[in-house]
Chain A
Amino acid sequence: MRKLLAICAAIFCIAAASDPAERLPDPGQEARARAIFAEVRCLVCQNESIDDSSAELAGDLRRLVRDQIKSGRSDDQVRTYLTDRYGEFVLLKPAFSWGNAALWGAPFVVVILGLFLLLRNLGAPRPYAELSQDEAARLAALADKEQT
């Protein structure tokens, strides 16, 4: 049952981005395009980047990104262009926004909360005091007597 979605996707989608027919002639631009592909969701596939997908729409999106890069846009401009057209949904990396504060913040809140609880526990008054040297010696003597 596991990976059903990857399975469905994989039937059509096999790392299509590296298809030589689609590539940009400039290797630097191509590398930038590939880096962006990994962060862009193939909207009709489930949780797949357009780098991995060979669905038709993913091909269209790749062409769009490559065209943008060819016409000299920066990476950020390309991302903005995509979100303007398709909404935040298209980016696999959620924006650092208030709406996503809980998402980005939760790991750190858990760590801080955990450390706080640990420190409070360490600083808590001990339920019983440890034995002094004198008391320890007396206890040892008592234990010896018990054994003999």
Chain B
Amino acid sequence: MIAETGAFALILALVLSLTQVVLSVLGRWRRASVLAGAGAGAGLAAFACVAVAFAALMHAFVTSDFSLANVAANSHTEKPMLYKVAGTWGSHEGSMLLWCLALTGFGAAVAGFKRGLPAGLKAVTVATQGALGTVFLAYTVFASNPFQRLVQIPIEGRSLNPLLQDPALAFHPPFLYAGYVGMSVVFSLAVAALVEGRADAAWARWVRPWTLMAWSLLTVGITLGAFWAYYELGWGGWWFWDPVENASFMPWLIATALLHSAIVTEKRGALAGWTVFLALGAFTFSMLGAFLVRSGVLTSVHAFAVDPTRGVLLLMILGVTAGAGFALFAWRAPALSPGGVFAPVSRESALVLNNILLAAATVTVLLGTLYPLIREAATGEAISVGPPFFNLTFTPLMAALLILLPAGPLLAWKRGDALGVAQRLWVAALIAVGAGLLAFAAVSPRKALASAGLAMGVWLIVGALVELAERTRAFRGSGAETWRRLTGLPRGAWGMTFAHLGLGVFVLGACFETSWKSEAAETLSLGQTLNVGAYELTLERIEGGDGPNYDAERATIIARKDGALVCTPKPERRFYPTGGQTTSEVAICTKGFNHLYVVLGERRPGDVWLVRAYWNPWALLIFLGPAIMALGGLISLSDRRLRLAVGRRALPA
């Protein structure tokens, strides 16, 4: 009964979304605020309905209602409660429902804000959001309905893939989807700007908080995914340039570019067309990601044939929505005002360079992901594009971006003072070069490129601090004045400082870990040892143990450094009888920012076990950095100026 309620609510949500479009369009056309208001109301109701459907599906997972095909395929009575709940969005159908929940949720948020947005702009935004909701809800209802019943009800479900039964991965999709779909609001605002012919400072001020929110959520989502890969897949890597990762990374890159170009549009009225273009692009890449991940076109050419309708339908959705958006752009963008002029050395120029490099980086990732498909379709030859390609193309682009970064915020609008900026930054440059040289001299083995990467991280961190010192006149004014300025800084400024600091922290961690990690693997019998880095690991004992839905073999390992006990990692090897899969639970000892990472491998004849250990120096910074960046986004979001309902502009148009 509850499942039927869910199915009904989902269909109702589809109808309401369609109503939302019709009413909002009529409201805009007739300039009737009652109709537009009714459209917004339909948006709120659509969200409520999807929420009911989502709750119904979650209920089915929690109570293990195997009469639903989706639950039977993805759940199991013995699964821990957290993963029963997370199972709601663990499958294709369920995650589409989560996508719709986020889409209508953001639509409701836009519809619900009474003040701020001019009525025309708001009506078109709500209508576009409704149209996106209609399309994706229709897809969910007709092509991947999670409420399909089974005629013959199985006694037990087939369970969720054990690798997905992990806390980081349970929360990874909600963040990622909220980030992906958050871009839909930006897309709708861009469509509205094109229809209304105004992409001015006020519009950009509306775009920024939504982009910031989606960007922050996406940052958290991607980081959780990387962290999960790091400790669950068990070989110490955290980023593989795998197409699925790339699919989530492209919207992030575009959103980052958009955040910066929207600043120019807001402060200087310039780059309006480009900002609108990026705003359309961010959600387009989100949809592309959804298509790439679900169609199976990239993981395997054959998977596409297994269920061609879903892939083709998603491709059609992508083509129609993005196509309509960009066609509108081609038609209306020339009408947007060109905006202010600026000198070659100015903050505008710096932000344009930022955008050029981020756009190039996005194109690189896009081509790297799709080129094997294109090449195979064109010439029939199969090639592979893997990490070595990205290291050679993406990395230099990012390096150029990172070198320029600290100068950007120090430049004045319109006409900057290059010499002045150089004077402010030479100390930072000196510290960075010094740190690089120190790393080159002190860390063995010597690695020039990695030391340069380290210098880059220090450059970003010190550069961000120099900018903060400039704003607060530290070292120049009195301490009291600095304190007054420090406490008076707008949250947006703090947000930027944190985001740039976080990037620096990430670069430090990524360069250091990638270049100077060490690994060791041996087959050990009880009492034997293995050396990794400065540590000596002794296999103390192995014991069996059963989890709720798996059998485990757990090793107790003693880690010593110079004879002194450091920690006792307890890696596990788990066997899940339901699916017949084996996973390994990595044990990680955190020492400062460093990780001692231990994996228990298979048992070999003669009572020996394969034990692998990694010393990952500064690995924690890789995940801490993006966390600081996301925090920066949130701090910025709380800025009074960017509060979602900017009261000052409460004019009905």
**Given known A-B contacts A15-B235, A110-B360, A118-B353, A93 and B389 have beta carbons under 8 A apart:** yes
Total interface residues in chain A, CB < 8 Å: 48
Interface assignment of B196: CB less than 8 Å from any CB of chain A: no
**Given known A-B contacts A3-B229, A92-B385, A114 and B294 have beta carbons under 8 A apart:** no
Are B363 and A3 touching (Cβ within 8 A)?
no
How far is B453's CA from A65's CA once the two chains are assembled, in angstroms? 31
Chain A residue contacts of B385, Cβ below 8 A: 92, 94, 103
Interface assignment of B315: CB less than 8 Å from any CB of chain A: no
Q: Of B95, B359, B392, which contacts A114 at CB under 8 A?
A: B359
Within 8 A of B (CB), among A1-39: 1-7, 10-11, 14-15, 18-21, 38-39
Interface assignment of B343: CB less than 8 Å from any CB of chain A: yes
Chain A residue contacts of B581, Cβ below 8 A: 11
Are A110 and B359 touching (Cβ within 8 A)?
yes
How far is B234's CA from A108's CA once the two chains are assembled, in angstroms? 36
How far is B349's CA from A41's CA once the two chains are assembled, in angstroms? 42
Interface assignment of B470: CB less than 8 Å from any CB of chain A: no
Total interface residues in chain B, CB < 8 Å: 76
Query: Taking CB as reference atom, which chain B residue is nearest A43?
Result: B384
CB 8 Å contact bits of A96-136 with B (1 = contact, 0 = none)? 00011011101110110011001000100011000000000
Stretch of B2-10, B58-66, B243-251, B645-653 with 4 or more beta carbons under 8 angstroms from chain A? B243-251
Are A106 and B363 touching (Cβ within 8 A)?
yes
Interface assignment of B153: CB less than 8 Å from any CB of chain A: no
Query: Taking CB as reference atom, which chain B residue is nearest A123?
Result: B344
Within 8 A of A (CB), among B246-281: 247-248
Are A11 and B386 touching (Cβ within 8 A)?
no
**Total A-B pairs, Cβ < 8 A:** 166
Q: Of A14, A88, A95, which contacts B233 at CB under 8 A?
A: A14
How far is B92's CA from A107's CA once the two chains are assembled, in angstroms? 33
How far is B294's CA from A93's CA once the two chains are assembled, in angstroms? 26
Are A39 and B234 touching (Cβ within 8 A)?
no
Chain A residue contacts of B368, Cβ below 8 A: 103
How far is B523's CA from A127's CA once the two chains are assembled, in angstroms? 75
Chain A residue contacts of B342, Cβ below 8 A: 122
Q: Looking at the assembled complex, report how far the CB atom of A80 sits from the nearest CB atom of chain B, in whole angstroms.
A: 16
**Given known A-B contacts A106-B367, A118-B352, A6 and B388 have beta carbons under 8 A apart:** no
Interface assignment of B492: CB less than 8 Å from any CB of chain A: no
Are A1 and B92 touching (Cβ within 8 A)?
yes
**Given known A-B contacts A1-B294, A7-B164, A107-B360, A88 and B521 have beta carbons under 8 A apart:** no
Are B389 and A19 touching (Cβ within 8 A)?
no
**Given known A-B contacts A15-B235, A20-B523, A103 and B360 have beta carbons under 8 A apart:** no
How far is B368's CA from A107's CA once the two chains are assembled, in angstroms? 10
Q: Looking at the assembled complex, report how far the CB atom of A71 sits from the nearest CB atom of chain B, in whole angstroms.
A: 25
**Given known A-B contacts A47-B243, A127-B338, A118 and B176 have beta carbons under 8 A apart:** no
Q: Looking at the assembled complex, report how far the CB atom of A134 sits from the nearest CB atom of chain B, in whole angstroms.
A: 20
Are B234 and A6 touching (Cβ within 8 A)?
no
Query: Taking CB as reference atom, which chain A residue is nearest B338?
Result: A127
Closest 7 CB pairs of A and B: A92-B386, A114-B356, A15-B235, A93-B388, A18-B521, A110-B360, A89-B382
- 29 interchain pairs (CB within 8 A)? A1-B92, A2-B173, A2-B245, A2-B247, A2-B293, A3-B225, A3-B242, A5-B243, A5-B299, A7-B161, A14-B234, A15-B599, A18-B520, A18-B612, A39-B388, A46-B300, A47-B242, A87-B382, A88-B382, A92-B385, A92-B387, A93-B392, A94-B383, A100-B383, A103-B375, A107-B397, A114-B352, A118-B352, A126-B341
